[in-house]
A and B are shown apart, each in its own frame.
Chain A
Amino acid sequence: MTDHDKEHDHARTFQPDHQEPTSDSARVGLALRELLIEAGHYTAEEEQEVIAAMQGASPENGGRIVARAWIDAAYKERLLGDGASAIRELGFELEPYEFTVMENTDSVHNVIVCTLCSCYPRSLLGMSPAWYKSKDYRSRVVREPRSVLAEFGVELSDNIDVRVHDSTAELRYMILPQRPAGTDDWSEEQLAALITRDSLIGTQRVLRSE
């Protein structure tokens, strides 16, 4: 490759406004990216489109689904019976994964993990939190869910059972939190705004209506 070519490719791939990591391992990723773009496997524009789409996803998507289920009992039934079809009604798609919703009740609290890697329904909940990907969470929440939940501020009495869901294969999960008291006359938008990322994963149980 001539010096001119190198400069040209460098200009296409280098982004002076963003901090680059300098660990050996991260350099593997940076180098790989530059090679693939320079070889024409994808373009910086395509990269930007993919990033924009990922950044557009947030827990607000999950919040919309939950609010609809709270307002519409028949929708809730469809959501719990076949999550993949139900979210399509709201314009969401998670194929080929089986989207599965778990309902919190007075007697059951659900929490999600992927012990083997960090599977997570990103297009519905946005980027997973760092703790969800951590070894400490992945190793401990299956074995001692109550003490892990306590670290998140979730205290559960003995008459509430804890159910852990390990996302080991092709299902992707979201929790349907309990609707807080005092919200009977709230609009769907107001309800959706209440819902937090952690309540959709299961590391928060009580949602504030204040």
Chain B
Amino acid sequence: MTAPLFSVGQSVRIVDRTPRVHHRVPAYAKGQVGVIERVCRLHGEPEKFIRGDGKPTQRLYRVRIAQNGLWDNYAGSDGDDLDIEIFEHWLEPME
């Protein structure tokens, strides 16, 4: 079992890139900074599924992003946040 690279509470950045294949990172999340809220299980990478390789080899995480940092003129509380599932290969540690 592969050990997770990231741990709960760690600050991470979601990589800002656009591979020319099916991937499950919304545009609004790319390049954003958040905190690991949960370490999830191993799953198959969406980018590989369409090549028939659905082996569950990639760690999934939930990343919590503050809404007031994500959107211009966000209308809500400073405590509002957005949680999103991101695979390990889409995350970089923040120093």
Contact = CB atoms under 8 A, between A and B. Distances in A.
A and B touch in the complex (CB under 8 A): yes
B85 A161 contact: no
Contacts of B40: 98, 170-171
Given A145-B76, A145-B80, A169 B24 contact: yes
A158 B79 CA distance: 9
Interface string A164-207: 11111111000000000000000000000000000000000000
Does more than half of chain B's interface fall in helix, strand or loop, or is it mixed? mixed
B26 A166 contact: yes
Contacts of A162: 67, 76-77, 80
A116 B79 contact: no
B92 to A, nearest CB: 18
Residue among B41, B80, B81 having the largest count of chain A Cβ atoms under 10 Å:
B80
A146 interface: yes
Contact size class for B? 20 to 34
Q: How large is the interface on A (under 10, 10 to 19, 20 to 34, 35 or more residues)?
A: 20 to 34
Nearest to B43: A170
A166 B25 CA distance: 10
A96 interface: yes
Contacts of A142: 28, 82
A169 B80 contact: no
Contact of A163 (B26, B41, B83): B83
B71 A143 contact: yes
A48 B34 CA distance: 45
A144 B43 CA distance: 30
A169 B76 contact: no
B24 A116 contact: yes
Contact of B81 (A158, A161, A171): A161
Contacts of A55: none
A168 B85 contact: yes
Nearest to A110: B83
Interface string A114-144: 0110000000000000000000000000111
Contact of A169 (B28, B60, B74, B77): B60
Contacts of A209: none
Given A98-B40, A98-B41, A144-B76, 4 more contacts: A162-B67, A163-B83, A169-B87, A170-B43
12 contacts: A116-B26, A144-B76, A162-B77, A163-B80, A163-B81, A164-B67, A164-B81, A166-B29, A166-B82, A166-B83, A168-B26, A168-B84
Interface of A: 96, 98, 115-116, 142-147, 158-171
Interface of B: 24-26, 28-29, 40-41, 43, 46, 56, 60, 62, 67, 71, 74-77, 79-87
